[in-house]
Amino acid sequence: MVPKSKVAQFLDRGFKIQEAQRKLKNLIRDTAEHELQSRQNEILTRKSKLRDQISEFRKSQKDFMCKVGDKVAAQSTAAPAIQDERLYLPSDLTQIERQQMALVDLGVEEER
C-alpha cells in the first residue's frame, strides 16, 4: 500500500500542472490579441516546462494509476497541444471508469 503522503504529493503535482496548463491557455489567448515577441518566448518556455513536468508526472502515474495507460497512449496518438493534454486524474474519469480501473479510493483522496 502506498502512503497517503505520496498519494497527496502525486495529486498535488497533477493539480499544479493543470493550473499551469490553464495559465498557458490564457497567455496564448492574450498573445493572439497582442502579438509581442516577449510573450511568444514566454509561451515557448512554458510549453517546454510543461512537457518536462508532464513527462515526470507520467512516470509517477504508472505507479499510482497504471490502468490509465491505454487512455494516455490513445491521447498521445492524437498529439494534443501540451496545454490541452489530459492528465487523467481520477476527476477526469467517469465513476464507472474509476470503478473499472480500481481508482475509487484515489478519487476519494483527490476530493479531499
Instruction: Tell how far CA 105 is from the center of its chain.
Output: 19
For residue range 1-30, what is the model confidence (pLDDT) as tens digits?
A: 566 788 899 999 999 999 999 999 999 988
- Cα-only R_g, the chain: 16
In the block, residue with C-alpha cell 474509476: 98
Which DSSP letter does residue 34 get? S
Helix axes 37-64, 4-33, angle to 10 degrees: 160
The residue extents of the domains of the chain are 4-111
Query: CA 89, CA 78: separation in Å to the nearest integer?
Result: 19
For residue range 46-104, what is the model confidence (pLDDT) as tens digits?
A: 999 999 999 999 999 999 899 999 999 999 888 999 999 999 999 999 999 999 999 88
